[in-house]
Amino acid sequence: MWFPTLLIALGFLLIFIELLILPGFGAAGVPGVVLVGSGLGIIWWNVGLYSALIYGSIALVFAIPIAIISLSLIRETPIGNVFILKTSQNSNDGFQAMPQELTTLIGKSGKTITPLRPAGIALIDGHRVDIVTRGEFVDKETEIEVILVEGNRVVVRSL
């Protein structure tokens, strides 16, 4: 019964690769599911369902540490460098964090410059700010209040 157990373990490894390394669904996940199903089917056919579940559990117990060790070692290989992004985002390269002044807008009011459908522009504390509503449309020249700031997204409601 070592061959079907090997099929099950290899299938679990392919499923782990699909989940943790390869994006999407299909490249390794479908063959992994087929291998697990084939291995369990062979054991079920020859010995029975209870034994198939035991062999599947044993294969899973061995596949998990192998997957963890393999994933930790693959980072150092040239193949791992293809899948792992090793760059950083620096302000010298033009990357910027969220503007801190946006968080100070919560609770402040202003007036819309453009219609909000549901996004637009408003004048808040003398600054033009890109804003968005929670889904409703707001006419031009309407008083608004900032209720939430999420990153660069400023959410308002009409007064």
| pLDDT tens digit sequence for 124-159 | 988 899 999 998 999 999 999 999 988 788 999 998
Render pLDDT for 89-104 as a digit per residue (tens, 0 to 9).
777 776 666 667 788 8
**Percentages helix, strand, coil for the chain, rounded to the nearest 5?**
50, 20, 30
- Please give the share of the chain, as a percent, with pLDDT higher than 70: 94
Peptide bond preceding 4 in cis form (omega within 30 of 0) = no
The enclosing H or E element of 37 equals helix 29-46
Asked whether the whole model's pTM tops 0.95, one would answer no
